[in-house]
Amino acid sequence: MEVSEVSSITSGSDPNDDVATAKYLDMIRTMHREWSALEGDGDAGVQLSARARNTIREAVRADSRHGAHVEMPPTPAGPFTVSEASLRGVVRSAVDAVPGALALRTTAEHAVSAQGARTRGRPERLRVRISAALDTSDLPSLARRVRSSVAQACHDHLGLDDLPIDVHIEDLHEEERHEH
């Protein structure tokens, strides 16, 4: 780990401050050099433990499987998050519940998270890509019904209100006919 050099140090009126600060910075530089040397030699005292490595591996597997955590509005029980896969699942169910629509793909724009890099902030916009039934006569009406269904599901299941939802019709499909 490289330590930034400090070119000039301004202190208060005490001239001993500059000397004390210089000694402190020198101690920090020495510690970093020693730590880097120990890391380079493979010293177990500065290496991650097997338990820490396993925890990191499990977190990476979970993130790749379910996506990052996404912040939701707090409930009376406190703040909560859902996985990106859960958010997409709520949206997919809402789209597929609309006659003549099939969910294809959903993406979200997120606010900056207050919880760190592994968590995405609250969704600020959804982009829902759908396939419309080939015999749909009014595509704008279908898009409005999909938007309404997704907005209601986001409100009911996640507490998300007033979320902009863009509906893109990307494909057409033939509805399956079930003969009895």
Give residue-wise pLDDT tens across range 21-53.
888 888 888 888 888 888 788 777 777 777 877
pLDDT of residue 164: 97
What pLDDT band is residue 9 in, cutting at 50, 70 and 90? very low
The residue-averaged pLDDT of 173-179 equals: 76
**CATH 3.30.70.1350 placement within the chain:** 68-173
Question: Length of the chain, please?
Answer: 180
Please tell me the distance from the alpha carbon of residue 158 to that of residue 89, in angstroms, as a whole number. Answer: 12
- Three-class secondary structure of residue 102 per DSSP: strand
- Predicted confidence (pLDDT) at residue 8 exceeds the cutoff of 60: no
pLDDT of residue 171: 95
- Predicted confidence (pLDDT) at residue 156 exceeds the cutoff of 70: yes
- Predicted confidence (pLDDT) at residue 3 exceeds the cutoff of 70: no
For residue 4, the 8-state DSSP code is: P
In the numeric block, the tokens 């820490």 are attached to: 52
Extract the tokens encoding 66: 């379910």
160-164: Cβ within 8 A, 24+ apart: 160/72, 160/73, 160/122, 160/123, 161/73, 163/123, 163/124, 163/125, 163/126, 164/124, 164/125, 164/126
pLDDT of residue 4: 47
CA 156 to chain centre: 21
Give residue-wise pLDDT tens across range 70-129.
888 888 888 888 889 899 999 999 999 999 999 999 999 999 887 777 788 899 999 999
Q: Could you tell me the pTM of the whole model?
A: 0.63
- Looking at per-residue pLDDT, the higher value among 12 and 153 belongs to 153
Please tell me the distance from the alpha carbon of residue 78 to that of residue 46, in angstroms, as a whole number. Answer: 37
Residues 6+ away with beta carbon under 8 Å from 94: 146, 149, 150, 152, 153, 154
Closest CA to 22 of 35, 36, 34, 11: 11
For residue 175, the 8-state DSSP code is: P
pLDDT of residue 15: 63
CATH topology of domain 68-173: Alpha-Beta Plaits (3.30.70)
- Three-class secondary structure of residue 20 per DSSP: helix
CA 139 to chain centre: 32
Calculated CA dihedral for residues 45, 50, 54, 60, nearest 10 degrees: 40
The residue-averaged pLDDT of 51-69 equals: 74
